[in-house]
Chains A and B, each alone.
Chain A
Amino acid sequence: MLQCIFLLSDSGEVMLEKQLTGHRVDRSICDWFWEQAISQGDSFKLQPVIASPTHYLFQVVREGITFLACTQVEMPPLMAIEFLCRVADVLSDYLGGLNEDVIKDNFVIVYELLDEMIDNGFPLTTEPNILREMIAQPNIVSKVLSVVTGNSSNVSETLPGATASCVPWRTSEPKYANNEVYVDLVEEMDATINRDGALVKCEIYGEVQVNSHLSGLPDLTLSFANPSILDDVRFHPCVRFRPWESHQILSFVPPDGQFKLMSYRVKKLKSTPIYVKPQLTSDAGTCRVNVMVGIRNDPGKTIDSITVQFKLPPCILSADLTSNHGTVNILTNKTCSWSIGRIPKDKAPSMSGTFVLETGLERLHVFPTFQVSFRIMGVALSGLQIDKLDLKNLPNRPYKGFRALTRAGEFEVRS
């Protein structure tokens, strides 16, 4: 089981340490860790499980903050990693983002949360709803109150009722004047287009996000028109397995507020909404580059926030890029970013320019990969359709809302 959790800033400073068991871990382990991180560079920072001379370390990096957990005995590594991810989620939810300052400013809350989330190295309460009831979230009101009155407690006086109920994820008996529930399909398209322009892989990773503000203990049933297209699914603990196994129906008592009801995957899609065609030709020490972007399959809604990003290969000395639409930026870490926004009706956006190669290099032999991002409101590209949402156990008719959104996930075009 975990023995200790450290929170490190992106400069390697130990911001917090929380000892979890009687076997204390000295913070010199962080020095060791940081020395390794500096000497081995980025690949070390991406290594989730590290065997140090004295401990096994698990690390999760979020927004520059390194969450480091130590153990000396066998335990499921994914459990530690998932837990650290959960801690990071809860903290960023509580503090409205993660960065060095916000953690230092709210260190008491971080301590209280950690103390509640893990006991003796084993996760205790990780359900955000219950945590929110036990430890108050810092908000403007409480801040003002604490300034005015000089004291405010963020620790709840009583135990949330949910800890005892059979639906531990649900706040006990919330009351709303307007009962409403929103169901969002949020999809990410992962696609790989190879050098020849062929679609190697195209799949959708989607989430059903529900925002529920319903009084009492409602029982919801959500069904899809075409569940057979789903390749694989994962559920929030509130979803009952049986109805899904037999009829592919989602039956659940929802947590209060925003949560991820399920995630799914649809594989082997045939086409992408937009195309990106990079062309690189090089000779005599320079390389001409030309990238065209256009709509391939009109999804029926506008595609916006289109950007194309790529990293210049190390052998390129300088780059000069212009576009007929949108703006092109070359960042200090040799990343080029071309933000297009929406595709205009009258012309196809294109970016062109030249790279100057390293002296002595005749032709380019390594080629960048272009990462594309876009967003389409109102469409779920997988084609998944919600059939109906039934609500039981509610006093009055609630408002039901549905939305859909598709954005690019790992959308890559190789050149």
Chain B
Amino acid sequence: MFPQFGATAETLSKASSMVFRIGTDAHLYDDPEDVNIAPLLDSKFDSEKCEALKRLLALIAQGFDVSNFFPQVVKNVATQSLEVKKLVYLYLLHYAEKRPNEALLSINCFQKDLGDPNALVRAWALRAMAGIRLHVISSLVLVAVGKCARDPSVYVRKSAANALPKLYDLRLEEHTSAIEEIVGILLNDQSPGVVGAAAAAFASICPSNFSLIERNYRRLCEILPDVEEWGQIILIGILLRFVIARHGLVEESIMFSLRSTKSGKSEKNGEATKISNKEDTGYASGNDDFGLGADVSGNIDLELANMVSRCYIEGPDEYLSRLSYANTGPSELNVAQFTSGKSNDDVKILLQCTSPLLWSHNSAVVLAAAGVHWIMAPRENVKKIVKPLLFLLRSSNASKYVVLCNIQVFAKAMPSLFAPHFEDFFICSSDSYQIKTLKLEILSSIVTESAISFVFKEFQDYIRDPDRRFAADTVAAIGLCSQRLPDMATTCLEGLLALTRQEFLSSDFGSVDGEAGVLIQAIMSIQSIIKQDPPSHEKVIIQLIRSLDSVKVPAARAIIIWMVGEYSSLGETIPRTLSTVLKYLAWHFTSEALETKLQILNSIVKVLLCAEGQDIQSFKRVLNYVLELAECDLNYDVRDRARFLRKILSSNLDYQGLEEETNILSPNKDLAYVLSGHIFGGQTKSSPPEPINYRFYLPGSLSQIVLHAAPGYEPLPKPCSLPRVDNVDQGTNGLERARNSDSFDTDETDSLSGSLDEEGASDYGSEHSISGSNVSGGSNETGSASEGDDNTDPLIQISDVGNAFENQHGVSHSGSADLGELISKRALESWLDDQPNSSNTSTSEQSQVRVSTARIFIGDIRHRVKTKSYTLLDPANGNGLKVDYSFSSEVSTISPHLVSVEICFKNCSSEPMSDILLEDEESNKDSNSADQTLVATDSSLTSHNNVPILVPMEEITYLEPGQTAKRIIQLYFH
């Protein structure tokens, strides 16, 4: 009606939004390049510089590469304005690694700023300096960090703690001990804020250097509640690891009760179940049926929790792979590795100082504290963690999921813990599908007899939920519940049968996928319940068979028909109905779906094989009829199945007229008969409780959520691996000593990995699964690779080669081959490492020792690991020659002492190049390893303190634009 009015309103709203945006940086984000940025950067005025930097930041935010402004930006680092400084730092840190040479220009400024009276300036300078990650300046940064670690300002000291992992990340051997020393200083700091950051540094730099913790253990525990929340999360984990390494597990804890059951079965078992029964307030059934039900359920969760504790200590991959070795006896942890939680002060303090953290408002802190109590607390106190954990479910949806994943493990291992709180796992309509399934799973594993009626009432509501996938899951959960509580089987069956009757109505008309899913799931649940005790559920089977007429979903029909074959001789009623049922099936055969047809064929054969008396004749007729139909079927699977059956059953089918002729069958036919009997007649045994193949990772870890060991995941340290000698200055030495005196089968390898730790290999330690010493020579490459997961396959196997071992197995390997393997191991190590050359000097020092102690086998790496390539020469403007190199896994053909390096040349320019050659500069460069970084000089690859013996590459005579050429050079590292 009033178009102009509408238009005005529109402009008005536009204008108002403009007004709203005035004064913000909106225009900078929208059009960052509408002015020339370069002159602004050189401006005298801070405000203009600021604007230019903001424009650059906007470009970074939008994903453009603006590194070409680097030199101009770096100049501005000297500014007095803090805002400009901050923006420069933001820019600098984003690009420093790309432009290392220009970044060096800023170092002087940082050093000047480190002396600034303003603590904020000092902290920022340190952060930026550590963040630019250049090997060349690492020693300068180390000095700066050391200085800042003693700064009067808490904030600066905190920044120093945060800078340490950055420095450590450069993997420079010579700094490691200095870095660890600073970690020690900062852990000893008076301010809780610093301690938190130092804990994070400790965890990422030297998580197994427990001597640093030992000195301060008590103080760290006391300061824990005052540490800021993020530091608490890490510090809790460190303290837990320390206590386990120092004192071992607690004998009153869950971990212990479960562990001991295997050896001292009967007595301990009874005791443990008694305890779990006592705790279990939800258990209505008192001591009457204590004998059977409670014992069984107690047993299962004990076994499971035993597994949990083993997985925590050894890591599930190693534990499970060890299980698959039949000959390796499990290394039982002996009683000496346990300590009494009541008398051990360190354990008591840890539990005391973590229990108030269960009230933290940070979910991660609560979960970490709960993890400590789960592992360390005496059994009767574990329930302390239940309410805080359940309270976490009221936080955001994202954390809800993570918390539920962890509760799931706790609930599986110790159902009685959560059983009284089953209501907390009832489903809200706002829950996501993942959360709903997790809750269902937890519910079905904790439900008790007293709670089951409430839970079933809930389940009935869920089945009517519009999300049919969830409804199907609910039906499956009902099946699981009744497996847990066999007494409820009848009730469950009634409910499920009623459901199947209901569902056909809808599945008939709606033909929605979801409905079919619910129906199939319902029948599967019925099937699993029947399987537990077929004779008592005879009527149910009959009812199902009767419902064949109305069930239309092929998969559901197939299951029912399977039951016809499986339970054909059960009870009295079923055999009598069989002939009618088979005729019905034969009648409908042509209209069935594929899976149902196949199942009909199988079932009729099964029925026939079990049949007795005069029925056999009629069954044979039915089978003949069906086989004839099947042989003309459109589907080749059905035709094949029919032909196979006819062949194998020819004896039965041919002698139609004769009865009781089985005795006089020719041996050949007899064989076929026996065979068919084996194929079809074999009664399925009640399957043993399904092998538990869950993987358990430490509570609160990422690995527990993604269910594989994330890189850097470390299981708990070996109990009591830390010596009880008080004046040990070098943790690793002591570690080795302790292990040598013990009798684990992994001892030697462990001490080896201990020495590897010093080279900084611990960071990716979990990728190497170091197998025990009893794996022998050639079978190594295939052995123990039983896990399907790429991550878990043992990539490198290190076995100790004692002298005796050498005699037995080492004969086939010549010494040089050994050495060759060692070298390729080193090559491997260096490409696993970020900075390939940095650790080499020390490796060469140690290789002498290692030759006598270890043999390293490398499996076929190429299929598992993608070789990482490094840039040797980078065309600066995308124009010129680009050279990448990578360490290939091939062993040199010329000499095992040589390491092959694959070099890839690419011509990025528009003109052809010729005569490209990579050669060894015969210069005696000094051995400053800092010079060997990615600084793109030709000889950086080969510049070592000793001139490498180099097998030069073939010259590339001509390289077209855009063309790529590959060459391999071989060189010898000293």
Query: Interface on A for B, CB 8 Å cutoff?
Result: 1, 14-17, 19, 21-22, 24, 27, 43, 46-49, 51, 56, 58-60, 71-79, 81-85, 101, 104-109, 111-112, 115, 119-120, 122-124, 126, 138, 142-147, 150-151, 153-159, 163-164, 166, 168, 190, 192, 194-195, 200-201, 205, 231-237, 241, 244-245, 260, 263, 265, 311, 313-315, 358, 360-363, 365-369, 371, 410, 412, 414
Contacts and interface: CB of A to CB of B under 8 A. Distances in A.
Interface in B365-408: 366-368, 387-388, 390-391, 394, 396-399, 401-403
Interface stretch (B161-169, B176-184, B924-932, B943-951): B161-169
B712 A235 contact: no
Nearest to A142: B23
A233 B93 CA distance: 42
A159 B428 contact: no
B466 interface: yes
Given A106-B25, A362-B505, 20 more contacts: A16-B61, A17-B61, A21-B169, A47-B401, A48-B399, A76-B237, A81-B402, A106-B24, A107-B61, A108-B54, A119-B127, A120-B163, A147-B23, A151-B50, A163-B158, A232-B388, A233-B359, A236-B361, A367-B464, A410-B428
Contact of B359 (A48, A51, A241): A241
Contacts of B461: 194-195, 414
Contact of A27 (B47, B57, B63, B429): B63
B458 interface: yes
Given A78-B367, A144-B23, A368 B166 contact: no
B228 interface: yes
B363 A78 contact: yes
A107 B47 contact: no
B737 to A, nearest CB: 29
Instruction: List 4 A-B pairs, minimum CB-CB distance, nearest first.
Output: A143-B23, A48-B398, A151-B47, A78-B364
Given A60-B398, A235-B360, A104 B133 contact: no
25 contacts: A21-B166, A22-B133, A47-B432, A48-B398, A78-B363, A78-B403, A78-B700, A81-B363, A105-B21, A108-B57, A120-B163, A123-B230, A124-B162, A138-B24, A146-B23, A151-B46, A155-B82, A157-B82, A159-B119, A163-B153, A232-B390, A235-B360, A245-B356, A365-B503, A365-B515
A243 B401 CA distance: 33
A72 B711 contact: yes
A6 to B, nearest CB: 10
A263 B359 CA distance: 10
Given A120-B165, A159-B119, A195-B464, A77 B154 contact: no
A196 to B, nearest CB: 8
B94 interface: yes
A46 B22 contact: no
Interface-central residue, A43, A84, A108, A111, by most chain B CB under 10 Å = A108
A122 B163 CA distance: 11
Chain B interface bracket (under 10, 10 to 19, 20 to 34, 35 or more): 35 or more
Contacts of A105: 21, 24-26, 29
B45 to A, nearest CB: 8
A111 B457 CA distance: 52
B364 A85 contact: no
Interface-central residue, A15, A58, A85, A119, by most chain B CB under 10 Å = A119
Contacts of A414: 461, 464
Nearest to B428: A410
Contacts of B61: 15-17, 107, 111
B86 A200 contact: no
Interface stretch (B210-218, B305-313, B701-709): B701-709
A159 B120 contact: yes
B675 to A, nearest CB: 46
B502 A241 contact: no
B432 A46 contact: yes
Given A107-B58, A119-B159, A234-B359, A81 B510 contact: no
Nearest to B165: A120
Interface-central residue, B127, B387, B702, by most chain A CB under 10 Å = B702
Contacts of B62: 14
B198 to A, nearest CB: 11
Given A59-B398, A120-B131, A107 B29 contact: yes
A77 B155 contact: no
Contacts of A47: 401, 432, 434
B401 A153 contact: no
B466 A313 contact: yes
A99 to B, nearest CB: 12
Contacts of B356: 241, 245
A387 to B, nearest CB: 20
Contacts of A17: 60-61, 63
B197 interface: yes
B225 interface: yes
Contacts of A138: 23-24
Contact of B230 (A60, A122, A158): A122
B120 A361 contact: no
Interface-central residue, A46, A234, A244, by most chain B CB under 10 Å = A234
Interface in B466-495: 466, 468, 471
Interface-central residue, B29, B163, B165, by most chain A CB under 10 Å = B29
A17 B213 CA distance: 37
A82 B166 contact: no
Contact of B233 (A79, A157, A200, A314): A79
B360 A119 contact: no
B2 interface: no
Nearest to A410: B428
Contacts of B133: 22
Interface string B51-74: 000100110111100000000000
A361 B396 contact: no
B25 A235 contact: no
Nearest to A369: B429
A143 B169 CA distance: 42
Interface in B435-460: 454, 457-458, 460
Contacts of A72: 711
A168 B193 contact: yes
A146 B50 CA distance: 12
A201 B426 contact: yes
A51 B709 CA distance: 12
Nearest to B400: A48
Contacts of B29: 104-105, 107
A158 B118 contact: yes
B918 to A, nearest CB: 28
Given A43-B432, A78-B367, A147-B23, A163 B154 contact: yes
A22 B464 contact: no
B41 to A, nearest CB: 16
A74 B432 contact: no
Contact of B705 (A49, A145, A195, A313): A49
Nearest to A367: B464
A144 B22 CA distance: 8
Contacts of A76: 233, 237, 364, 367-368, 700-702
Contacts of A21: 166, 169
Contacts of A115: 86, 89-90
B172 to A, nearest CB: 14
Given A122-B230, A369-B429, A360 B47 contact: no
Given A366-B465, A367-B464, A119 B364 contact: no
A75 B193 CA distance: 20
Nearest to A368: B466
A192 B427 CA distance: 9
Given A108-B57, A194-B457, A365 B230 contact: no
Interface-central residue, B163, B233, B515, by most chain A CB under 10 Å = B233
Nearest to B704: A77
Contact of B509 (A236, A237, A314, A360): A360
A263 B360 CA distance: 10
A120 B50 contact: no
B362 to A, nearest CB: 6
B597 to A, nearest CB: 27
